[in-house]
Structure 1
Amino acid sequence: MTATILVAGGTGDLGGRIVRELLLHDTQVRILSRPGSTTARTGAHDERVEIVEAAYSDPAALAAAAAGAETVVSALSGVRPVIVDAQRALLAAAVAAGVPRFIPSDYSSDYRRIAIGSNRNFELRREFAADVDAADIRATSVLGGAFTDMLTGQAPMIAFGGKRVLYWSSPDQILDFTTKDDVAWTTAHVALDVNAPRVVEIAGDRVTARDLARMMSRLTGTPFRLQWAGTTGSLSVMSGAMRRFSKDSDETFPAWQGMQYFVSMFSGQGRLLHVRNDRYGDREWTTVEDVLAAHLASR
Protein backbone atom coordinates (compact mmCIF):
# COMPACT_ATOMS: atom_id res chain seq x y z
CA MET A 1 0.00 0.00 0.00
CA THR A 2 1.40 3.37 -1.04
CA ALA A 3 2.18 5.65 1.91
CA THR A 4 1.70 9.39 1.67
CA ILE A 5 4.39 11.42 3.45
CA LEU A 6 4.34 15.19 3.87
CA VAL A 7 7.80 16.78 4.03
CA ALA A 8 8.20 20.33 5.32
CA GLY A 9 11.53 21.77 4.21
CA GLY A 10 11.65 19.27 1.37
CA THR A 11 13.58 21.60 -0.94
CA GLY A 12 16.41 22.19 1.52
CA ASP A 13 19.69 20.31 1.67
CA LEU A 14 18.65 17.61 4.13
CA GLY A 15 14.99 17.74 3.18
CA GLY A 16 15.80 17.06 -0.46
CA ARG A 17 17.84 14.04 0.53
CA ILE A 18 14.94 12.76 2.65
CA VAL A 19 12.55 13.16 -0.29
CA ARG A 20 14.98 11.26 -2.53
CA GLU A 21 15.19 8.38 -0.04
CA LEU A 22 11.41 8.26 0.40
CA LEU A 23 10.96 7.90 -3.35
CA LEU A 24 12.99 4.67 -3.23
CA HIS A 25 10.00 3.18 -1.39
CA ASP A 26 6.34 2.80 -2.31
CA THR A 27 5.45 6.36 -1.40
CA GLN A 28 3.67 9.48 -2.54
CA VAL A 29 5.57 12.52 -1.29
CA ARG A 30 4.03 15.91 -0.65
CA ILE A 31 6.43 18.84 -0.35
CA LEU A 32 5.04 21.63 1.76
CA SER A 33 5.74 25.00 0.17
CA ARG A 34 4.97 28.53 1.23
CA PRO A 35 2.49 30.29 -1.12
CA GLY A 36 4.25 31.93 -4.04
CA SER A 37 7.48 29.97 -3.65
CA THR A 38 8.98 28.69 -6.89
CA THR A 39 11.73 26.60 -5.28
CA ALA A 40 9.58 23.53 -4.64
CA ARG A 41 8.12 23.52 -8.15
CA THR A 42 11.50 23.68 -9.84
CA GLY A 43 12.73 20.80 -7.66
CA ALA A 44 9.85 18.37 -8.31
CA HIS A 45 10.68 16.03 -11.20
CA ASP A 46 8.94 12.84 -10.09
CA GLU A 47 5.27 12.21 -10.78
CA ARG A 48 4.94 10.88 -7.23
CA VAL A 49 5.92 14.27 -5.82
CA GLU A 50 3.11 16.72 -5.15
CA ILE A 51 3.62 20.36 -4.20
CA VAL A 52 1.16 21.65 -1.63
CA GLU A 53 1.09 25.31 -0.61
CA ALA A 54 0.26 26.57 2.86
CA ALA A 55 1.44 29.40 5.08
CA TYR A 56 2.47 28.48 8.60
CA SER A 57 0.14 31.24 9.78
CA ASP A 58 -2.85 29.46 8.16
CA PRO A 59 -3.95 26.49 10.34
CA ALA A 60 -6.71 25.40 7.96
CA ALA A 61 -4.41 25.32 4.93
CA LEU A 62 -1.73 23.44 6.87
CA ALA A 63 -4.26 20.86 8.07
CA ALA A 64 -5.53 20.42 4.50
CA ALA A 65 -1.96 19.88 3.31
CA ALA A 66 -1.43 17.20 5.95
CA ALA A 67 -4.78 15.45 5.46
CA GLY A 68 -4.41 11.79 4.50
CA ALA A 69 -0.69 11.63 5.20
CA GLU A 70 0.72 8.74 7.23
CA THR A 71 3.63 10.84 8.51
CA VAL A 72 4.59 14.50 8.62
CA VAL A 73 8.36 14.94 8.36
CA SER A 74 9.89 18.27 9.34
CA ALA A 75 13.26 19.15 7.84
CA LEU A 76 12.93 22.84 8.61
CA SER A 77 16.04 24.78 9.52
CA GLY A 78 16.30 28.03 11.44
CA VAL A 79 16.01 29.51 14.91
CA ARG A 80 12.98 30.26 17.10
CA PRO A 81 10.57 31.48 14.39
CA VAL A 82 11.13 28.18 12.57
CA ILE A 83 12.18 25.48 15.06
CA VAL A 84 9.59 26.51 17.66
CA ASP A 85 6.90 28.68 16.04
CA ALA A 86 6.60 27.14 12.56
CA GLN A 87 6.97 23.60 13.88
CA ARG A 88 4.28 24.23 16.49
CA ALA A 89 1.93 25.22 13.67
CA LEU A 90 2.96 22.16 11.67
CA LEU A 91 2.48 19.86 14.65
CA ALA A 92 -0.95 21.32 15.41
CA ALA A 93 -1.96 20.85 11.79
CA ALA A 94 -0.82 17.21 11.81
CA VAL A 95 -2.88 16.54 14.94
CA ALA A 96 -5.92 18.36 13.54
CA ALA A 97 -5.68 16.33 10.31
CA GLY A 98 -5.44 13.05 12.23
CA VAL A 99 -1.94 12.21 10.93
CA PRO A 100 -0.65 9.20 12.92
CA ARG A 101 3.07 10.14 13.10
CA PHE A 102 5.36 13.15 13.23
CA ILE A 103 9.14 13.54 12.84
CA PRO A 104 10.50 16.85 14.21
CA SER A 105 13.54 18.59 12.76
CA ASP A 106 16.11 17.36 15.29
CA TYR A 107 18.84 15.43 13.39
CA SER A 108 21.47 16.28 15.97
CA SER A 109 23.37 15.11 19.02
CA ASP A 110 21.35 14.29 22.13
CA TYR A 111 20.01 17.72 23.07
CA ARG A 112 18.06 16.30 25.99
CA ARG A 113 21.06 16.22 28.36
CA ILE A 114 22.84 19.49 27.59
CA ALA A 115 23.30 22.15 30.26
CA ILE A 116 20.96 25.14 30.23
CA GLY A 117 22.47 28.01 28.29
CA SER A 118 25.14 25.89 26.61
CA ASN A 119 23.63 25.49 23.12
CA ARG A 120 20.89 27.74 21.73
CA ASN A 121 19.91 25.53 18.78
CA PHE A 122 19.71 22.42 20.94
CA GLU A 123 17.64 24.22 23.57
CA LEU A 124 15.12 25.30 20.93
CA ARG A 125 14.75 21.64 19.96
CA ARG A 126 14.32 20.64 23.59
CA GLU A 127 11.66 23.33 24.02
CA PHE A 128 9.73 22.09 21.00
CA ALA A 129 10.12 18.47 22.14
CA ALA A 130 7.92 19.30 25.13
CA ASP A 131 5.14 20.28 22.70
CA VAL A 132 5.67 17.09 20.72
CA ASP A 133 5.47 14.92 23.84
CA ALA A 134 2.22 16.62 24.91
CA ALA A 135 0.56 16.25 21.49
CA ASP A 136 -1.86 13.48 20.56
CA ILE A 137 0.43 11.98 17.92
CA ARG A 138 3.16 9.35 17.77
CA ALA A 139 6.52 11.06 17.24
CA THR A 140 10.07 9.97 16.53
CA SER A 141 13.22 12.08 16.69
CA VAL A 142 16.21 11.02 14.61
CA LEU A 143 19.52 11.73 16.38
CA GLY A 144 22.80 11.16 14.56
CA GLY A 145 25.35 13.41 16.21
CA ALA A 146 27.13 15.98 14.05
CA PHE A 147 26.93 15.83 10.27
CA THR A 148 30.17 14.21 9.06
CA ASP A 149 30.02 16.45 6.00
CA MET A 150 30.87 19.48 8.15
CA LEU A 151 34.36 18.18 8.91
CA THR A 152 35.45 19.21 5.42
CA GLY A 153 35.15 22.91 6.20
CA GLN A 154 32.04 24.17 7.99
CA ALA A 155 33.21 22.79 11.35
CA PRO A 156 36.80 24.13 11.74
CA MET A 157 38.09 21.20 13.76
CA ILE A 158 40.58 20.03 11.15
CA ALA A 159 43.08 22.68 10.04
CA PHE A 160 43.94 21.19 6.65
CA GLY A 161 46.57 23.79 5.82
CA GLY A 162 48.08 23.92 9.30
CA LYS A 163 48.26 20.12 9.67
CA ARG A 164 46.45 20.29 13.02
CA VAL A 165 43.37 18.74 14.64
CA LEU A 166 41.86 20.95 17.32
CA TYR A 167 40.29 19.62 20.50
CA TRP A 168 38.89 20.96 23.74
CA SER A 169 39.48 19.40 27.17
CA SER A 170 40.30 15.86 26.00
CA PRO A 171 41.56 14.43 22.68
CA ASP A 172 39.99 11.11 23.66
CA GLN A 173 36.37 12.27 23.97
CA ILE A 174 34.23 10.11 21.68
CA LEU A 175 32.39 12.14 19.03
CA ASP A 176 29.37 10.94 17.05
CA PHE A 177 29.19 11.66 13.30
CA THR A 178 26.67 10.71 10.61
CA THR A 179 26.49 11.93 7.02
CA LYS A 180 23.44 13.78 5.76
CA ASP A 181 22.74 10.92 3.33
CA ASP A 182 22.76 8.35 6.14
CA VAL A 183 20.48 10.56 8.26
CA ALA A 184 18.11 10.92 5.30
CA TRP A 185 18.11 7.14 4.73
CA THR A 186 17.23 6.54 8.36
CA THR A 187 14.55 9.24 8.39
CA ALA A 188 12.83 7.70 5.38
CA HIS A 189 12.70 4.35 7.16
CA VAL A 190 11.41 5.97 10.34
CA ALA A 191 8.69 7.74 8.35
CA LEU A 192 7.44 4.36 7.15
CA ASP A 193 7.88 2.53 10.46
CA VAL A 194 4.60 2.44 12.37
CA ASN A 195 6.43 1.00 15.38
CA ALA A 196 9.27 3.53 15.50
CA PRO A 197 10.16 4.53 19.09
CA ARG A 198 10.25 8.11 20.40
CA VAL A 199 13.96 8.41 19.55
CA VAL A 200 16.09 6.59 16.98
CA GLU A 201 19.83 7.06 17.50
CA ILE A 202 22.36 6.31 14.78
CA ALA A 203 26.07 6.99 14.38
CA GLY A 204 27.72 6.50 11.03
CA ASP A 205 31.05 6.69 12.83
CA ARG A 206 32.42 7.39 16.32
CA VAL A 207 35.89 8.88 16.55
CA THR A 208 38.08 11.00 18.80
CA ALA A 209 40.28 13.97 17.93
CA ARG A 210 43.25 11.63 18.34
CA ASP A 211 41.68 9.27 15.79
CA LEU A 212 41.23 12.18 13.38
CA ALA A 213 44.89 13.20 13.65
CA ARG A 214 45.99 9.65 12.90
CA MET A 215 43.50 9.41 10.06
CA MET A 216 44.62 12.64 8.41
CA SER A 217 48.28 11.63 8.77
CA ARG A 218 47.54 8.34 7.04
CA LEU A 219 45.45 9.89 4.26
CA THR A 220 47.87 12.71 3.45
CA GLY A 221 51.20 11.07 4.24
CA THR A 222 51.97 14.17 6.33
CA PRO A 223 51.91 14.24 10.14
CA PHE A 224 48.85 15.96 11.60
CA ARG A 225 49.27 17.01 15.21
CA LEU A 226 46.75 17.48 17.98
CA GLN A 227 46.30 21.05 19.15
CA TRP A 228 44.70 21.80 22.52
CA ALA A 229 42.36 24.78 22.07
CA GLY A 230 41.31 25.12 25.70
CA THR A 231 38.66 23.56 27.88
CA THR A 232 34.99 23.24 27.10
CA GLY A 233 34.40 25.62 30.00
CA SER A 234 36.58 28.34 28.50
CA LEU A 235 35.00 27.75 25.08
CA SER A 236 31.55 28.13 26.61
CA VAL A 237 32.53 31.43 28.23
CA MET A 238 34.00 32.67 24.93
CA SER A 239 30.89 31.74 22.95
CA GLY A 240 28.70 33.49 25.52
CA ALA A 241 30.75 36.67 25.23
CA MET A 242 30.62 36.59 21.44
CA ARG A 243 26.87 36.02 21.52
CA ARG A 244 26.27 39.05 23.76
CA PHE A 245 28.11 41.40 21.43
CA SER A 246 27.14 39.83 18.11
CA LYS A 247 24.68 41.25 15.60
CA ASP A 248 23.89 37.86 14.07
CA SER A 249 21.53 36.47 16.70
CA ASP A 250 18.93 35.72 14.02
CA GLU A 251 21.31 33.53 12.02
CA THR A 252 21.13 29.76 12.36
CA PHE A 253 24.87 29.10 12.48
CA PRO A 254 26.84 32.16 13.64
CA ALA A 255 30.41 31.61 14.85
CA TRP A 256 29.42 31.53 18.52
CA GLN A 257 26.82 28.84 17.79
CA GLY A 258 29.54 26.70 16.24
CA MET A 259 31.48 27.05 19.48
CA GLN A 260 28.43 25.88 21.40
CA TYR A 261 28.24 22.76 19.24
CA PHE A 262 31.84 21.92 20.11
CA VAL A 263 31.03 22.44 23.81
CA SER A 264 28.15 19.93 23.54
CA MET A 265 30.37 17.43 21.73
CA PHE A 266 33.62 17.66 23.71
CA SER A 267 31.87 17.87 27.09
CA GLY A 268 30.22 14.54 26.32
CA GLN A 269 26.79 15.97 27.16
CA GLY A 270 25.45 15.44 23.65
CA ARG A 271 26.90 11.97 23.15
CA LEU A 272 24.51 9.32 21.88
CA LEU A 273 24.11 6.52 24.42
CA HIS A 274 21.60 4.23 22.68
CA VAL A 275 22.80 3.85 19.10
CA ARG A 276 20.98 1.23 17.04
CA ASN A 277 22.45 1.22 13.56
CA ASP A 278 20.91 -2.18 12.81
CA ARG A 279 17.28 -1.17 13.38
CA TYR A 280 16.49 -1.03 9.66
CA GLY A 281 18.76 -3.80 8.47
CA ASP A 282 22.27 -3.94 7.10
CA ARG A 283 23.77 -0.76 5.70
CA GLU A 284 27.27 0.26 4.78
CA TRP A 285 27.52 3.45 6.80
CA THR A 286 29.74 6.21 5.47
CA THR A 287 32.69 6.66 7.81
CA VAL A 288 34.57 9.81 8.73
CA GLU A 289 37.54 8.48 6.79
CA ASP A 290 35.36 7.97 3.70
CA VAL A 291 34.27 11.62 3.80
CA LEU A 292 37.76 13.00 4.44
CA ALA A 293 39.30 10.82 1.71
CA ALA A 294 36.72 12.02 -0.82
CA HIS A 295 37.31 15.63 0.20
CA LEU A 296 41.08 15.33 -0.13
CA ALA A 297 40.75 13.65 -3.53
CA SER A 298 38.59 16.53 -4.81
CA ARG A 299 40.98 19.30 -3.79
Structure 2
Amino acid sequence: MSFVVAGGTGTVGSKITRELLGQGHQVRVLTRDAERAAERLGHQDGLEFFQIDLTDPGRLVGGFGKGDRVFVGLGGSPTQVQDENALIDAAASAEVEYLVKLSCEGVDTGTENLILDVHRAVEGHLADSGIPSTLVRPSTFIDTIVSIASQFIPQDAWGGNSADGVCTFVDTRDVAEVFASLLRQGPEAHAGRAYTLTGPDAVSMSQVAELISTAVSREVRHHERAESENESFLTGLGLPPLQVAVLLGLDQFTREGIMSQVHGDTHVLLGKPARPAAAFINETVAELLSAS
Protein backbone atom coordinates (compact mmCIF):
# COMPACT_ATOMS: atom_id res chain seq x y z
CA MET A 1 0.00 0.00 0.00
CA SER A 2 1.36 3.41 -0.99
CA PHE A 3 0.87 6.49 1.18
CA VAL A 4 1.59 10.07 0.15
CA VAL A 5 2.16 12.80 2.74
CA ALA A 6 1.92 16.45 1.68
CA GLY A 7 3.21 18.39 4.66
CA GLY A 8 5.57 15.67 5.84
CA THR A 9 7.98 17.97 7.66
CA GLY A 10 5.23 19.65 9.70
CA THR A 11 4.28 19.03 13.32
CA VAL A 12 1.59 16.51 12.41
CA GLY A 13 2.84 15.31 9.02
CA SER A 14 6.26 14.30 10.31
CA LYS A 15 4.65 12.19 13.04
CA ILE A 16 2.30 10.56 10.52
CA THR A 17 5.25 9.71 8.30
CA ARG A 18 7.17 8.12 11.17
CA GLU A 19 4.07 6.26 12.35
CA LEU A 20 3.45 4.70 8.93
CA LEU A 21 7.13 3.86 8.38
CA GLY A 22 7.26 2.26 11.82
CA GLN A 23 4.42 -0.04 10.73
CA GLY A 24 6.40 -1.11 7.68
CA HIS A 25 4.57 0.94 5.03
CA GLN A 26 5.95 2.84 2.04
CA VAL A 27 5.65 6.63 2.27
CA ARG A 28 6.29 9.30 -0.36
CA VAL A 29 6.74 12.77 1.12
CA LEU A 30 5.92 15.63 -1.23
CA THR A 31 8.22 18.52 -0.40
CA ARG A 32 9.40 21.81 -1.81
CA ASP A 33 12.87 21.16 -0.37
CA ALA A 34 13.95 17.51 -0.47
CA GLU A 35 17.25 18.21 1.28
CA ARG A 36 15.57 19.93 4.20
CA ALA A 37 12.96 17.17 4.41
CA ALA A 38 15.70 14.54 4.57
CA GLU A 39 17.40 16.45 7.38
CA ARG A 40 14.13 16.50 9.31
CA LEU A 41 13.03 12.92 8.70
CA GLY A 42 16.29 11.12 7.92
CA HIS A 43 16.84 8.48 5.24
CA GLN A 44 14.88 5.34 6.02
CA ASP A 45 13.77 2.21 4.22
CA GLY A 46 10.42 2.80 2.62
CA LEU A 47 10.73 6.61 2.62
CA GLU A 48 10.85 8.54 -0.64
CA PHE A 49 11.18 12.30 -1.11
CA PHE A 50 9.48 13.81 -4.15
CA GLN A 51 10.30 17.46 -4.80
CA ILE A 52 7.35 19.51 -5.96
CA ASP A 53 6.58 22.99 -7.23
CA LEU A 54 3.15 24.06 -6.01
CA THR A 55 2.81 26.38 -9.01
CA ASP A 56 3.54 23.58 -11.52
CA PRO A 57 0.41 21.37 -11.93
CA GLY A 58 2.22 18.84 -14.11
CA ARG A 59 4.95 18.32 -11.56
CA LEU A 60 2.37 18.06 -8.78
CA VAL A 61 0.42 15.34 -10.55
CA GLY A 62 3.64 13.35 -10.82
CA GLY A 63 3.81 13.16 -7.05
CA PHE A 64 0.69 10.99 -6.91
CA GLY A 65 -0.16 7.59 -8.31
CA LYS A 66 -3.51 6.02 -9.11
CA GLY A 67 -4.83 4.36 -5.97
CA ASP A 68 -2.65 6.28 -3.54
CA ARG A 69 -3.91 7.23 -0.10
CA VAL A 70 -3.00 10.81 0.70
CA PHE A 71 -2.59 13.15 3.67
CA VAL A 72 -2.77 16.93 3.07
CA GLY A 73 -1.86 19.34 5.85
CA LEU A 74 0.42 22.27 5.06
CA GLY A 75 1.63 24.84 7.55
CA GLY A 76 0.01 28.25 7.74
CA SER A 77 1.13 30.68 5.02
CA PRO A 78 -0.39 33.48 2.93
CA THR A 79 -0.85 30.96 0.11
CA GLN A 80 -2.14 27.99 2.13
CA VAL A 81 -5.54 27.90 0.43
CA GLN A 82 -4.01 28.15 -3.04
CA ASP A 83 -1.35 25.52 -2.23
CA GLU A 84 -3.66 22.95 -0.65
CA ASN A 85 -6.20 23.39 -3.43
CA ALA A 86 -3.44 22.78 -5.98
CA LEU A 87 -2.52 19.54 -4.20
CA ILE A 88 -6.16 18.45 -4.19
CA ASP A 89 -6.50 19.19 -7.91
CA ALA A 90 -3.36 17.19 -8.67
CA ALA A 91 -4.53 14.29 -6.52
CA ALA A 92 -7.87 14.27 -8.36
CA SER A 93 -6.11 14.27 -11.75
CA ALA A 94 -3.96 11.33 -10.64
CA GLU A 95 -7.08 9.43 -9.49
CA VAL A 96 -5.91 8.80 -5.95
CA GLU A 97 -8.03 6.41 -3.91
CA TYR A 98 -8.49 8.47 -0.75
CA LEU A 99 -7.48 11.77 0.83
CA VAL A 100 -7.49 12.84 4.48
CA LYS A 101 -7.32 16.56 5.21
CA LEU A 102 -6.00 18.25 8.35
CA SER A 103 -8.57 20.92 9.19
CA CYS A 104 -9.57 22.66 12.43
CA GLU A 105 -12.33 22.41 15.01
CA GLY A 106 -14.84 25.22 14.61
CA VAL A 107 -14.96 25.17 10.80
CA ASP A 108 -18.62 24.18 10.96
CA THR A 109 -19.54 27.18 13.15
CA GLY A 110 -20.28 30.75 12.16
CA THR A 111 -17.21 32.07 13.97
CA GLU A 112 -15.14 34.57 11.97
CA ASN A 113 -11.48 33.68 12.30
CA LEU A 114 -8.55 33.67 9.87
CA ILE A 115 -7.57 30.08 10.67
CA LEU A 116 -11.12 28.80 10.23
CA ASP A 117 -11.61 30.76 7.00
CA VAL A 118 -8.57 29.07 5.45
CA HIS A 119 -9.80 25.60 6.31
CA ARG A 120 -13.36 26.37 5.22
CA ALA A 121 -12.09 27.35 1.79
CA VAL A 122 -10.02 24.19 1.38
CA GLU A 123 -12.75 21.93 2.75
CA GLY A 124 -15.14 23.37 0.18
CA HIS A 125 -12.67 22.76 -2.64
CA LEU A 126 -12.09 19.19 -1.49
CA ALA A 127 -15.84 18.54 -1.42
CA ASP A 128 -16.05 19.64 -5.06
CA SER A 129 -13.08 17.52 -6.17
CA GLY A 130 -14.86 14.17 -6.15
CA ILE A 131 -12.06 12.47 -4.18
CA PRO A 132 -13.26 10.09 -1.45
CA SER A 133 -12.10 11.97 1.62
CA THR A 134 -12.22 12.47 5.37
CA LEU A 135 -11.87 15.69 7.35
CA VAL A 136 -10.04 15.71 10.67
CA ARG A 137 -10.72 18.79 12.79
CA PRO A 138 -8.51 18.92 15.89
CA SER A 139 -8.69 21.51 18.64
CA THR A 140 -5.63 23.65 19.38
CA PHE A 141 -2.45 21.62 19.74
CA ILE A 142 -1.00 21.60 23.25
CA ASP A 143 2.38 21.30 21.49
CA THR A 144 1.80 24.73 19.94
CA ILE A 145 0.82 26.33 23.24
CA VAL A 146 3.87 24.96 25.05
CA SER A 147 6.17 26.02 22.21
CA ILE A 148 4.78 29.58 22.33
CA ALA A 149 5.02 29.66 26.12
CA SER A 150 8.65 28.50 26.11
CA GLN A 151 9.63 31.52 24.02
CA PHE A 152 8.21 34.01 26.53
CA ILE A 153 8.38 32.40 29.98
CA PRO A 154 12.09 33.16 30.55
CA GLN A 155 11.25 36.89 30.34
CA ASP A 156 7.97 36.47 32.28
CA ALA A 157 6.25 37.83 29.17
CA TRP A 158 3.92 34.97 28.31
CA GLY A 159 0.32 36.11 27.99
CA GLY A 160 -2.65 36.82 25.80
CA ASN A 161 -6.34 37.57 25.66
CA SER A 162 -7.90 34.22 26.53
CA ALA A 163 -9.92 35.57 29.49
CA ASP A 164 -11.32 32.72 31.59
CA GLY A 165 -12.06 30.55 28.58
CA VAL A 166 -11.11 26.90 28.33
CA CYS A 167 -9.91 24.66 25.50
CA THR A 168 -9.68 20.90 25.03
CA PHE A 169 -6.04 21.06 23.90
CA VAL A 170 -5.06 17.96 21.91
CA ASP A 171 -1.67 16.23 21.66
CA THR A 172 -0.38 15.97 18.08
CA ARG A 173 0.83 12.44 18.79
CA ASP A 174 -2.82 11.44 19.10
CA VAL A 175 -3.70 13.40 15.97
CA ALA A 176 -0.96 11.66 13.97
CA GLU A 177 -2.01 8.22 15.21
CA VAL A 178 -5.58 8.93 14.13
CA PHE A 179 -4.46 9.98 10.65
CA ALA A 180 -2.29 6.87 10.27
CA SER A 181 -5.26 4.72 11.26
CA LEU A 182 -7.61 6.45 8.81
CA LEU A 183 -5.11 6.06 5.98
CA ARG A 184 -4.63 2.37 6.70
CA GLN A 185 -8.36 1.63 7.03
CA GLY A 186 -9.21 3.63 3.93
CA PRO A 187 -12.30 5.09 2.29
CA GLU A 188 -14.56 2.12 2.91
CA ALA A 189 -14.45 2.87 6.62
CA HIS A 190 -14.17 6.65 6.71
CA ALA A 191 -14.94 8.45 3.42
CA GLY A 192 -17.45 11.25 3.80
CA ARG A 193 -16.86 11.57 7.52
CA ALA A 194 -15.57 14.49 9.61
CA TYR A 195 -13.97 13.82 12.98
CA THR A 196 -13.34 16.30 15.79
CA LEU A 197 -10.26 15.49 17.85
CA THR A 198 -9.88 16.88 21.37
CA GLY A 199 -8.04 16.16 24.54
CA PRO A 200 -9.89 14.49 27.45
CA ASP A 201 -10.52 17.68 29.43
CA ALA A 202 -10.99 21.42 28.99
CA VAL A 203 -8.44 23.68 30.67
CA SER A 204 -7.80 27.41 30.85
CA MET A 205 -4.52 29.15 30.07
CA SER A 206 -4.07 29.86 33.78
CA GLN A 207 -4.41 26.13 34.42
CA VAL A 208 -1.83 25.44 31.70
CA ALA A 209 0.48 27.87 33.54
CA GLU A 210 -0.12 25.93 36.76
CA LEU A 211 0.73 22.66 35.04
CA ILE A 212 3.93 24.16 33.66
CA SER A 213 4.78 25.57 37.11
CA THR A 214 4.46 22.11 38.62
CA ALA A 215 6.56 20.55 35.85
CA VAL A 216 9.45 23.01 36.23
CA SER A 217 9.13 23.52 40.03
CA ARG A 218 8.83 27.30 39.83
CA GLU A 219 6.06 29.80 39.31
CA VAL A 220 5.07 30.45 35.72
CA ARG A 221 2.44 33.05 34.91
CA HIS A 222 0.19 33.64 31.94
CA HIS A 223 -0.50 37.38 31.82
CA GLU A 224 -3.95 38.47 30.72
CA ARG A 225 -3.87 41.34 28.20
CA ALA A 226 -6.59 43.20 26.35
CA GLU A 227 -6.76 42.14 22.71
CA SER A 228 -5.48 45.49 21.44
CA GLU A 229 -2.65 45.43 23.99
CA ASN A 230 -1.70 41.91 23.00
CA GLU A 231 -1.75 42.77 19.29
CA SER A 232 0.55 45.73 19.93
CA PHE A 233 2.84 43.53 22.03
CA LEU A 234 3.15 40.87 19.33
CA THR A 235 3.55 43.41 16.54
CA GLY A 236 6.24 45.17 18.55
CA LEU A 237 8.25 41.95 18.56
CA GLY A 238 8.56 42.25 14.79
CA LEU A 239 6.38 39.21 14.06
CA PRO A 240 4.87 39.00 10.55
CA PRO A 241 1.22 40.09 10.35
CA LEU A 242 0.07 36.55 9.53
CA GLN A 243 1.76 35.13 12.62
CA VAL A 244 0.23 37.86 14.79
CA ALA A 245 -3.22 37.09 13.34
CA VAL A 246 -2.78 33.36 14.02
CA LEU A 247 -1.72 33.96 17.63
CA LEU A 248 -4.68 36.26 18.18
CA GLY A 249 -6.90 33.61 16.60
CA LEU A 250 -5.68 30.95 19.04
CA ASP A 251 -6.63 33.26 21.91
CA GLN A 252 -10.07 33.73 20.34
CA PHE A 253 -10.64 29.97 20.27
CA THR A 254 -10.09 29.80 24.04
CA ARG A 255 -11.74 33.10 24.98
CA GLU A 256 -14.95 32.32 23.09
CA GLY A 257 -15.10 28.65 24.07
CA ILE A 258 -15.03 27.48 20.45
CA MET A 259 -13.04 24.40 21.47
CA SER A 260 -14.38 23.91 24.98
CA GLN A 261 -16.37 20.70 24.45
CA VAL A 262 -14.76 17.28 24.86
CA HIS A 263 -15.54 15.02 21.89
CA GLY A 264 -15.23 11.26 21.91
CA ASP A 265 -13.79 10.79 18.40
CA THR A 266 -10.16 10.67 19.57
CA HIS A 267 -10.88 7.89 22.06
CA VAL A 268 -13.02 5.91 19.62
CA LEU A 269 -10.60 6.15 16.69
CA LEU A 270 -7.52 5.35 18.80
CA GLY A 271 -9.18 2.70 20.94
CA LYS A 272 -7.63 4.35 23.99
CA PRO A 273 -8.07 7.59 25.96
CA ALA A 274 -6.67 10.81 24.52
CA ARG A 275 -3.54 12.13 26.17
CA PRO A 276 -4.23 14.98 28.65
CA ALA A 277 -2.43 18.30 28.34
CA ALA A 278 -0.56 17.55 31.56
CA ALA A 279 1.11 14.52 29.97
CA PHE A 280 2.70 16.52 27.16
CA ILE A 281 3.71 19.32 29.52
CA ASN A 282 5.34 16.94 31.99
CA GLU A 283 7.27 15.19 29.23
CA THR A 284 8.52 18.20 27.30
CA VAL A 285 8.34 21.58 28.99
CA ALA A 286 11.46 21.34 31.16
CA GLU A 287 13.60 20.56 28.10
CA LEU A 288 11.99 23.33 26.07
CA LEU A 289 12.52 25.94 28.75
CA SER A 290 16.14 24.91 29.32
CA ALA A 291 16.78 25.38 25.58
CA SER A 292 15.09 28.78 25.38
TM value normalised by structure 1: 0.78
The 5-angstrom pairing of residues 44-193 of structure 1 reads 44-81=42-79, 83-106=80-103, 108-116=104-112, 119-155=113-149, 168-170=162-164, 173-193=165-185
8 Å contact from structure 1 (residues 163, 224) kept in 2: no
Deviations 1:165-224 (A, max 9, x none): 866343xx3311112222111111122232225312222342322644654565566677
Pair 59,226 (structure 1): closer, same or farther in 2 beyond 3 Å: closer
Pair 142,78 (structure 1): closer, same or farther in 2 beyond 3 Å: same
CA-CA distance at 1:7 after TM superposition: 0.7
Task: Give the alignment partner of residue 278 of structure 1, picking from 267, 271, 274.
Answer: 267
State the alpha-carbon separation in 2 of the partners of residues 257 and 41 from structure 1.
28
| Greater helix proportion | 2
State the alpha-carbon separation in 2 of the partners of residues 188 and 105 from structure 1.
12
Pair 115,241 (structure 1): closer, same or farther in 2 beyond 3 Å: farther
Pair 139,80 (structure 1): closer, same or farther in 2 beyond 3 Å: farther
What is the Cα-based RMSD across aligned positions, in Å? 3.4
Give structure 1 stretches of 5+ with no counterpart.
none
Give structure 2 stretches of 5+ with no counterpart.
none
Q: What is aligned with 1:266? A: 255
Pair 127,65 (structure 1): closer, same or farther in 2 beyond 3 Å: same
TM value normalised by structure 2: 0.80
Pair 223,138 (structure 1): closer, same or farther in 2 beyond 3 Å: same
| Number of residues of Structure 1 aligned to a counterpart in Structure 2 | 281
Pair 275,214 (structure 1): closer, same or farther in 2 beyond 3 Å: same
Q: What is aligned with 1:21? A: 19
State the alpha-carbon separation in 2 of the partners of residues 228 and 237 from structure 1.
10
Q: What is aligned with 1:32? A: 30
CA-CA distance at 1:257 after TM superposition: 2.4
Q: Percent identity?
A: 20
SS of residue in 1 equivalent to 2:148 = coil
The amino acid of 1:268's aligned partner reads G
Matched, 1:288 2:277: yes
CA-CA distance at 1:61 after TM superposition: 2.5
Deviations 1:39-68 (A, max 9, x none): 234444222112223322222332232113
State the alpha-carbon separation in 2 of the partners of residues 98 and 248 from structure 1.
38
SS of residue in 2 equivalent to 1:278 = helix
The amino acid of 2:167's aligned partner reads L
8 Å contact from structure 1 (residues 157, 167) kept in 2: no
